[in-house]
Amino acid sequence: MRDSAVQPRKKPVQRRARATIAVIVEAGAQVLTQQGISGFTTNHIAERAGVSVGTIYQYFPNKEAILVALQLTEMRQTLGLIALQLNDTRASPKERMRNAIRAFLDSEQAELDLRRALAQVRVSLPKDGEVVDIGSQAVEMLHAFLVANGLIDRGNRFASECIVTTITSVGERANIHSDADVERWTEALVRMINVHLDPDRP
């Protein structure tokens, strides 16, 4: 499916329109969780959201576009969770890094059903726009954290990009189905990243 087929029909400008889209996306999440992809229809989503099917089609061309919007919403929420962990000054920088990784992998585990649904309907996230913007925000946020805590030089943005790419790849491709899996991968990533940040350490 082409990227344009899963893009929203129009960008919401008014607060009411943004609220309507948020209600539709949240309803989509509930339908997907409770009924699976087979029950993920615009009729079911409209019923759960308390809006007409016509209202849904004002904003989304099809149910696949709602799936993509749902994934983007999850990505934004995950970015917020990571920011909370990195900014928690009650913990040491290394602990904050570990907690951020754990928060990310927890979110990936929670999104398994959503990712399977996207794969089942053969929809990929658009390769431009907000997806790329969220990825760039993640790199910049991590880079600022590492620089502020003296873990890398400001000019070494590539290191931050490598770390984000590695963590993201693990979240997308590793077999993570339980809390034990999350913990095992968290510890492995922490060890790898610590070596990368402190290569001279024995």
Asked if the model's pLDDT at residue 202 lies above 50, the reply is no
Ordered DSSP codes for 25-92:
HHHHHHHHHHHTGGG--HHHHHHHHTS-HHHHHHH-SSHHHHHHHHHHHHHHHHHHHHHHHHT-TTS-
- At residue 81 the predicted structure's pLDDT band, cuts being 50, 70 and 90, is very high
Say if 126 falls within a structural domain: yes
Segment 67-87 shows an average pLDDT of 92
Query: Percentages helix, strand, coil for the chain, rounded to the nearest 5?
Result: 75, 0, 25
Alpha-carbon distance of 198 to 51, in angstroms, equals 54
Query: pLDDT at position 132, please?
Result: 83
Query: In this structure, which amino acid lies at residue 106?
Result: D
Mean pLDDT of the chain: 87
Looking at the structure of the chain, the number of domains it has is: 1
Q: What is the pTM of this model?
A: 0.80
Query: pLDDT at position 124, please?
Result: 67
Which of 67-71, 94-98, 128-132, 140-144 is predicted with the least confidence, judged by mean pLDDT? Answer: 128-132
Segment 139-167 shows an average pLDDT of 94
Say if 202 falls within a structural domain: no
Does residue 114 sit in helix, strand or coil? helix
Say if 96 falls within a structural domain: yes
Q: In terms of residue numbers, what domain contains 82?
A: 3-197
Higher pLDDT, 198 or 134: 134
Q: At 190, which CATH number?
A: 1.10.357.10
